[in-house]
């Protein structure tokens, strides 16, 4: 399906056709409201509280997200449904707790993907045993309702803006309505693995270009103390110009003071890092790096490197099976994949090292680093593709 593809609206399965977790939605509120929601769920909230944004967290955006408290449902002159100034065009996707619809603004004539959620459903929905993997994950997720997740997702998206991230434009939350709306940048394209339109991998040249965009966006997130938590092809959308944008922050986390340790892994199983399968604490940033490795395998080979006949078998393969790559694979690409998919998180390659890797920079130069509005006051490319200097996020 072309257009904005939201995997988290499918309760069944996401990428790879099987073994998917129940996805979560999210919205924004002030940190006091989020902490109160977290506390009201009961149980252990030590780590979950740390993913609630501090009031002092810097907003790294050129334009703040618009917050609208009034909802008007109407029709235009041709009978098309309207949400405030947005005119409906077509449905892009739907699920058990909401849908994604393409709208066009009557003000700027731009298209936007609007995610609709129902507060009553979000507050009721919880994960069931058949939709999770590890016991500790089930225990933690069973205490977390989707409304809290919605607020957290929007809290994260309100703080960030980057060329390789889906941008949140507006949140519509009328207190007298059961509807919640996220107005998002519309990407008129497909996911990275679907963009070729053919079965199998998409080739090294295209994969390299896409990987560079993924790394650029993910480095920005990590520099802003955000773990994405569900990097996979379905959440990586390609624009008409060929730029990859990371979407779906429904299981993302804030962290602070460099402490990105987490105790639950709600991402998609086949993209889950080995340390996340063991039911103990793990570090979110290096788990994101593993998911990038699985994604690169999907782009190059057309399949995931570790997948079993059952959920438990898949986790066993992720933890214990060696990485099996074709004999004729490019040596530098093999080295990169082995670094990304190193089972020991302490030895796994870093994003900085990926950005400087010879396979990544081949024929392209260093990945342009984006300076931050929150720290340098403006967004600009510090070095263009092909530059010999390497600046980092400041």
With beta carbons less than 8 A apart as the criterion, state whether 65 and 170 touch. yes
Specify the pairing of strand 66-68 against strand 168-173.
parallel
8 is catalytic: no
**pTM above 0.85?**
no
- What's the CATH fold of domain 204-376? Transferase(Phosphotransferase); domain 1 (1.10.510)
> CATH 3.30.200.20 residue ranges in the chain?
7-185
Residues at the annotated binding site?
115
CA distance 181 to 171: 6
> Burial letters for 343-370: b for 16+ Cβ neighbours within 10 Å, e otherwise?
bebeebbebeebbebebbbeeebbbbbb
> CATH 1.10.510.10 residue ranges in the chain?
204-376
Taking the chain (394 residues) in runs of 10, the rounded mean pLDDT of each run is 31 30 35 53 45 68 92 91 95 77 95 90 55 40 60 90 95 92 91 62 92 96 92 93 92 85 80 88 92 95 91 92 94 97 96 96 87 58 39 39
pLDDT for 197: 44
CA distance 355 to 316: 30
Q: Which tokens is 315 given?
A: 């986790």
- Among the listed residues 173, 230, 234, 260, the single catalytic one is 230
Residues at the annotated binding site for ATP?
115
Q: Which of the four CATH numbers 3.30.200.20, 3.90.550.10, 1.20.140.10, 3.40.50.720 does domain 7-185 have?
A: 3.30.200.20
Other C-beta atoms closer than 10 Å to the C-beta of 107 total 9
């Amino acid at each position: 399906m072309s257009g904005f593809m939201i995997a988290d609206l499918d309760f069944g399965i996401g990428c790879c056709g099987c073994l998917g977790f129940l996805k979560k939605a999210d919205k924004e509120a002030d940190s006091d409201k989020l902490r109160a929601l977290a506390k009201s769920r009961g149980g252990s909230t030590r780590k979950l509280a740390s993913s609630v944004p501090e009031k002092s967290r810097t907003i790294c955006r050129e334009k703040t997200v618009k917050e609208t408290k009034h909802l008007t449902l109407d029709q235009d002159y041709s009978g098309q449904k309207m949400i405030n100034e947005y005119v409906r065009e077509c449905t892009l996707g739907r699920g058990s707790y909401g849908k994604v619809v393409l709208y066009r603004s009557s003000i700027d004539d731009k298209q936007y993907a609007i995610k609709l959620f129902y507060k009553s459903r979000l507050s009721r929905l919880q994960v069931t045993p058949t939709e999770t993997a590890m016991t500790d994950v089930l225990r933690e997720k069973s205490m977390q309702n989707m409304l809290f997740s919605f607020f957290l997702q929007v809290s994260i998206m309100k703080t960030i803006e980057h060329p390789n991230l889906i941008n949140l434009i507006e949140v519509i939350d009328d207190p007298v309505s059961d509807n919640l709306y996220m107005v998002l940048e519309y990407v008129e394209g497909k996911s990275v693995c679907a963009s070729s339109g053919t079965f199998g991998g998409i080739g090294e040249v295209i994969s390299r270009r896409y990987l560079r965009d993924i790394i650029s966006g993910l480095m920005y997130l990590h520099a802003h103390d955000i773990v994405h938590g569900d990097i996979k092809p379905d959440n990586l959308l390609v624009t008409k110009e060929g730029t990859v944008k990371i979407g779906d922050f429904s299981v993302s986390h804030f962290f602070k003071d460099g402490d990105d340790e987490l105790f639950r892994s709600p991402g998609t199983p086949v993209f889950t890092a080995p340390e996340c399968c063991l039911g103990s604490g793990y570090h979110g940033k290096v788990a994101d790096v593993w998911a990038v490795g699985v994604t690169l395998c999907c782009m190059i080979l057309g399949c995931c490197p570790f997948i079993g006949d059952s959920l438990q078998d898949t986790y066993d393969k992720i933890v214990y099976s060696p990485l099996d790559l074709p004999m004729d694979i490019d040596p530098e690409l093999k080295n990169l994949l082995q670094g990304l998919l190193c089972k020991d998180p302490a030895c796994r390659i870093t994003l900085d090292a990926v950005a400087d890797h010879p396979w990544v920079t081949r024929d392209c130069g260093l990945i342009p680093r984006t300076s931050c509005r929150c720290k340098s006051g403006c967004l600009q490319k510090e070095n263009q593709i092909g530059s010999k200097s390497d600046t980092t996020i400041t």
